Every structure is written in structure tokens, then in C-alpha cells.
Structure 1
Amino acid sequence: MSLNRREFVGNSIAAAGICLSPAFLSAAEKKASHKLKILFLGGTGFLGPHTVNYALSRGHEVTLFNRGKTNDDLFPQLEKIVGDRDPKKDKGLSGLKNREWDAVIDTSGYVPRIVEASSQLLADKVKQYVFISTICQYDNWAEGGKNGTEKRPRATLDDPLTEDVSKHYCALKGYCEKAAETAMPGRVTQIRPGLIVGPRDKTDRFTYWPVRISQGGQVLAPGTPQDLTQFIDVRDLAQFIVRTLENKITGEFNLVCPPFPFGELLQSCLKVSKSDAKLNWVPAKFMQEHDVQPWRDVFMWADINSPGAGALTWSGEKALQAGLTIRPVDETVKATLDWFGSLPQERQNKLRAGMSREKEAKVLQAWHAHQKKV
């Protein structure tokens, strides 16, 4: 890693002081000074509803364009245009013709050809295009660290015409960015989030930790408390997206909180859930020997000495300077637990990420036996 722990923790504390200013937080409750007409391509998945709700709270007018197949019961009060991002499909983008908006928010673009179609169609119909990309669209993005800024080059593909999103999701997002920029030069805002967490997240990658710790007992905690983690609360991301429209901010932005110790995340889970769980910090080498892998069995974490650790050390400084606010981790943990607790019991009974309780117990048993021998 290029930055040491002390530098990252220092940056985290400094950024918190900037981001949590009471004046800015209270301003978020007020109506915007100018009402915008916003077209939303998507809007009913994970990030979409949070962004739509925030835009509405600011007094903006929102139109949704999607296939009408995902959470169609959301926002019955809004205008909804049913169509398809792919112009080759039935109806396609025809519902967007002969209409005008102030801005468009695109959370559903994954294929350059499809983003090209929407951005070209809307080039003369909107003033600003906000494209939700990803932080992994960078070349060798897992390196992160001091080179983890918006100046890092995009990843490239041998076949830039491929539409295999499952295989080339990250690089294709970069090509989607280029498509929007070509259609609307100087009027595009590229939002590049890290791992998005919080209420409505169906992956459970972050949710695993507050839920597992709330259940109590012996918990396997990976590595050391000083290893770093990083993410973005979906509500902070949503607010920043809307503010870029209100303030006519264009350009490229990494959307991540400053890296902070993984131990702080788990301590927050303990505090918020009022759990009596006991954390057992198991070294990375021992976990590897017992087939416990990051991003398969344990999420939000990487061994600080491993090549993958850089993926959790990106800089969001440019976004912070442009007005990104980062809420305390306790708020993210609480909101996630509250949301998860509102789901049907059948859904709560099966986390979609993280180790099974059986595997966790087996590895901890081996770890405790190992400790007795040394």
C-alpha cells in the first residue's frame, strides 16, 4: 500500500470534520432555490429510490423512465414512461422523444451502445447528464492508495464492442462514460461510487456485519482491527447526485468515505445493536489456511498487506470539496439494521453474503485450538 495507516486514519478524522458541518446538514432539509425537472433512467432499485426521494424532498419534479418491471408500486404520484433503454427493443426510447428536462440521472446504464443511444437522444433535450458509473472502471483499480484519484486512466478492453456485462462490468462502465461525454461534452457528471451500502441493499455484503453481530455469540472478525475498510452510504451518494444538478457541477468524482479501521466498523455494530457478541480477530494467514476468503466469506475487508487492500483505500477528496457529506458510521449501521428488521422473516433468516454460522463456528474452533498450542 502506498499510504500508511496513520495517514489514512488522519485523513478520515479530518474529512469527518469537513463533512459533518451542522450548517450543511440543516441545509439539506430546505427546498432548493430553483425547481428542476429531472428525468430518471431507472429509479426503482437500490440507489434510485433514495435519490428520487431526496430530489422530491428538495422540491424537484421527477419523471421515471424504465421497463416498469422492478418495484413498479413505488412512486405512484410520479409520471412514469414505460420503455426500454435498448433502442432495438419494443418501444425502446420512443417515450422520450419530443420531451425536455433540465437534467437526467442515469443509474441503469451498463452497455456503451445503450448509453450512447440515450445520451444522443437527450443531448438537445437536457442541460446536464449525470451518469452513475463505478470506482472499478479504473485501470488496475484495486491498487487504490495515493494513485486512487480521478486522474487514474480508465480500464480498456480488447473488444470494446462486447456487451458481456457479467464478465466486463467494470471496464464497460468506463466505455459508457465515454459514450455520454461524446454526446454531451462538458455537460456530464461522472459519479464513481465505491461499495454502496445501507437500506435497500440486496447484496448483504455490508448488512452481514451489523446483523451477524446483533445476533451475539462468538463472531469471527477478519485480520486485525487496524485493517482498513471503505464504502459510501447510499443516502450520502443520493444527496451528492442531486446537489451536482442543483449546483451545475460536472466532471468526474469518486464517491467513497475516507478509509477507516475495520475495527471501528465492528465496534459500531456492537454499540448500535447493543450486542454482547465477542469479536475473535483471526489473522489473515490462518483464515487463508482454513479457506476463508475476502469477498467470498468476509466482505468489506482485505488483509492490509495484500494486493487487494488498495481497493479499500480510494480518495474521495474531490467529491468532499464539491460538497459530499459523510454521515457517522453509527447512522449507517442503525439504518441498515432497522431496514433489515422490517423485511419478511423468511428474508431475514437467510443472509445473502458472508459465512454460514456452521463454517464460522468450525473456523473459530480451529483458531481457539491453535491459540492453546502456542
Structure 2
Amino acid sequence: MSTQPKRVLVLGGTVYLSQTIARLAVERGHRVTVAARGTSGEPPAGAEFTAIDRSVPGGVDALRGKEFDAVFDVARIPAHVTPVLDALADRAGHWSFVSTISVYKHFHVVSDELHDPTAPDSTDPAIEVYGASKVACENLVRERLGDKALITRPGLIVGPGDRNDRLGYWPLRMAEGGEILAPAPRERLLQWIDVEDYATWLLDAADAGTSGTLDAIGHPIGMGAFLDGVGAALQEQGVIDAPPQLTWVPQEFLLEHGVNMWAGPDSLGMWVTTPEYDGHGSRPAGPAIAAGLRLSPLADTVARWWAANAAAPRLKAGLSRVKEGEVLAAFHGREPDPGLARLDRERRFAVPAPETPDYEG
């Protein structure tokens, strides 16, 4: 990989994946420009900030005439992609566009069939057209950049800064102890990509000039192996002194009692149902690994999340202790524990509604 400082532009750069890309690029000694509205967060120390607003005419004029060795974009609105392409496509050495596995039309099987794209000038932000919008964004980037473009399709991105906390629910819940609701079956496959691994790979790929379209995802593992791994990581760090006490509850029972998938209120992070999502957690990781993606062990991902959040956690997904207790009580045929309301009041984290789509970077 090149060790020469590069001119790097991160479109966004103030939230989660894009912020991690910008931070790691600064740490590598690159000259980093973060271009955003500046309303969602702060750019990392050492990066230059340029104010842009893709939603208004002339909103990216501050980028015109500039040249960059590498550009990184996480946009999901097609109409927001064209202005930056018009301003920079001919002045960029490499272009990395972060898409999503939501571009795939089917999740019940592993399939490469894509959603039909939205119109290239679409401004629709609805989650219902998220995958179709990303297809349109991909097409715009390919048409303008050709073999200078790398398009990656992440699955669930987890780690510090995740505004949906798919992973984060589990270490914090395990740290609290007691009986823990777990979604059966144990064999249900899931996948993720660590935000640090992903950002590192994208920077390496820009150095190497990697192009094409690749899924950005780790190897699939069962829900049981995942939860066992989270528990083992917490034991290694001395957070807990025994394996978590997991009670495996069938998905039909969970759904009947109002437990949600994915993220947000009353959800179990990382969990989706079978068979509707059997293909969602089974996509091949091999092509990305062959292209340089290096995957952290689960223990390292948990350790990074814990180090970033444990001192003052503010969880954004998961079951309240009251809700979990009600479901477990119904499963066991007993009365709920009234003391769980006190535990909820004492918790150091909150559970607001999700702020971004499931794959947003």
C-alpha cells in the first residue's frame, strides 16, 4: 500500500462509517477534507471542513475545481450523487461508494437480483425505497467513474458510533446479568462487518486502486455462536465472571409477544426471522476477503464497543427490562417480576426510535 500522503475527500465524515474513514485517513497522514452540512456531528481532529448542501442548487460549488486522490461517499439519495459527480468525477483518482446489501431484491435466499432503480433524480428519502435508491446511486457512479470506482455493499455495520446499536444491546444486557431472552433457533445465521475493519479496507482499496462491486460482509455464524462469543469476550475483559444465562425462545412466540427484529424499541439486535431472511445472513464473504478485507475476531469487535461505550452507555436499541421480563414470564407461565421497572429506571441508557436505515454508514 502507498505510504505517500494523499488528498482525501470524505463526503459526510461526521457520523459513524464516514467519520471513521476520515479519522483513520487523518491517522495515516493524509490531507483529509470532510464535506457536509455540518449538522449531524463533528469531523475528526485534523480534518479540514468544507460546508456543502447537496439538496440545493449550487450546494456543492465549494468543491468545484478541487482535485482529490480518493473520494468516499455514503449517499443514499440519487439526486445528491449527481452534483458531486459533476463537480469532481474528472478530478478524482479513485472513487469509493458505500452502497448496501439492501440493493438485493430477495432476502429469503442468497440472490444477486437487484431492485429496479429509482429515477436518477429521485429525492425520495423513504426507507421503503432505500435499496432501490442505492441501486440508482450505484449506476450513477459506475457510469461516470468506470474502473476508477469501487462500490461496496455492506450488511450490518457494527461497532462504536452505531446509531442503531444492533451489537450494543447484547454486551450491555449481559453485563446486567440475570436471565436473558435469546431468539431461537441457535443455528439462525447472521453476518456483520466491523466499522473499523470496513473503513480500513476502504482506505487500503483506494491505495491499491481496487475497483468493481463487492459485498462488504463477514463470515456467517449462528446466533448461538454469536451470543456465546459476546459472553466469552466479556468474561475475558472481566466484565462478567460466568457465561450469560440465556433462555432460547422460539421466534413465533417472540413475534406474538411484540418483540421486533433489527433495531429500535422492543427489538433484539442482530435478530431476523427464518425463513424470510435466510439469505440475508448467508452472503459469501470470500470475494471481499480476496480483495483485501481483514476481519476482526468477534472478541475484538466487542472489546472496542465496550471500551467506547461502557463508561457512559446510551443504548439505542433493545428490549426494556420490563418488556423482556414480560416475555420471559409468559414463556415460563409465571407472573412478571414487578421489580424490573426499577431496573429500567436505573439503566444508564435510553431506547429512542432508530435514526437511520439499517445499513446507513
TM superposition score category, shorter chain reference: 0.7 to 0.9
Matches of 2:133 and 2:325, distance apart in 1: 40
- The percent of aligned pairs where both chains have the same amino acid is 31
Partner of 2:350: none
Answering whether residue 80 of structure 2 is matched by residue 114 of structure 1, we say yes
Matches of 2:83 and 2:320, distance apart in 1: 44
Answering whether residue 201 of structure 2 is matched by residue 201 of structure 1, we say no
Answering whether residue 327 of structure 2 is matched by residue 363 of structure 1, we say yes
Partner of 1:54: 24
Aligned counterpart for 2:123 among listed residues 163, 173, 180: 163
| Maintained 8 Å contact 1:198/1:335 | yes
Aligned counterpart for 2:48 among listed residues 79, 83, 95: 79
Q: Partner of 1:174: helix, strand, or coil? A: helix
Q: How does 1:272-311 map to 2 (within 5 A)?
A: 272-274=233-235, 275=240, 276=242, 277-295=244-262, 297-303=267-273, 305-311=274-280
Q: Deviations over 1:96-136 (max 9, x none)?
A: 111111121112x1221220111122121112111111111
Runs (4+) off by over 6 Å: none
Change (3 A) 1:130 1:158: closer
Counterpart amino acid of 2:116? T
Partner of 1:130: 96
Matches of 1:94 and 1:302, distance apart in 2: 43
Aligned counterpart for 1:247 among listed residues 188, 208, 216: 208
Change (3 A) 1:157 1:122: closer
Q: Partner of 1:38: helix, strand, or coil? A: strand
Q: Partner of 1:359: helix, strand, or coil? A: helix
Partner of 1:176: 137
CA RMSD of aligned residues (A): 2.0
Change (3 A) 1:247 1:158: closer
Matches of 1:278 and 1:287, distance apart in 2: 18
| Bigger relative contact order, structure 1 or 2 (CA pairs below 8 A, ≥6 apart) | 1
Aligned counterpart for 1:352 among listed residues 298, 307, 316: 316
Q: How does 1:193-342 map to 2 (within 5 A)?
A: 193-274=154-235, 275=240, 276=242, 277-295=244-262, 297-303=267-273, 305-342=274-311
| Maintained 8 Å contact 2:23/2:44 | no
| Maintained 8 Å contact 2:5/2:30 | yes
Q: Partner of 1:186: helix, strand, or coil? A: helix
| TM-score (ref. length: structure 2) | 0.84
Which ranges in structure 1 are unaligned for 5 or more consecutive residues? 1-30
Matches of 2:255 and 2:56, distance apart in 1: 47
Q: How does 1:15-26 map to 2 (within 5 A)?
A: none
Counterpart amino acid of 2:62? G
| Maintained 8 Å contact 1:66/1:83 | yes
Matches of 1:144 and 1:242, distance apart in 2: 31
Partner of 1:19: none
Matches of 1:209 and 1:266, distance apart in 2: 8
Q: How many residues align?
A: 324
More displaced 10-residue stretch of structure 1: 356-365 or 242-251: 356-365
| Maintained 8 Å contact 1:120/1:184 | no
Counterpart amino acid of 1:164? D
Matches of 1:170 and 1:291, distance apart in 2: 26
Matches of 1:315 and 1:308, distance apart in 2: 15
| Maintained 8 Å contact 1:199/1:340 | yes
Which ranges in structure 2 are unaligned for 5 or more consecutive residues? 335-361
Q: Deviations over 1:240-261 (max 9, x none)?
A: 1101110000110101101001
| Maintained 8 Å contact 1:116/1:183 | no
Matches of 1:321 and 1:355, distance apart in 2: 38
Partner of 1:6: none
Change (3 A) 1:65 1:162: closer
Residue 68 (structure 1) shift: 2.0
Residue 158 (structure 1) shift: 6.8
Q: Partner of 2:319: helix, strand, or coil? A: coil
| Maintained 8 Å contact 2:10/2:21 | no
Counterpart amino acid of 1:46? Y
Q: Partner of 1:117: helix, strand, or coil? A: helix
Matches of 1:338 and 1:71, distance apart in 2: 20
| TM-score (ref. length: structure 1) | 0.81
Matches of 2:140 and 2:102, distance apart in 1: 17
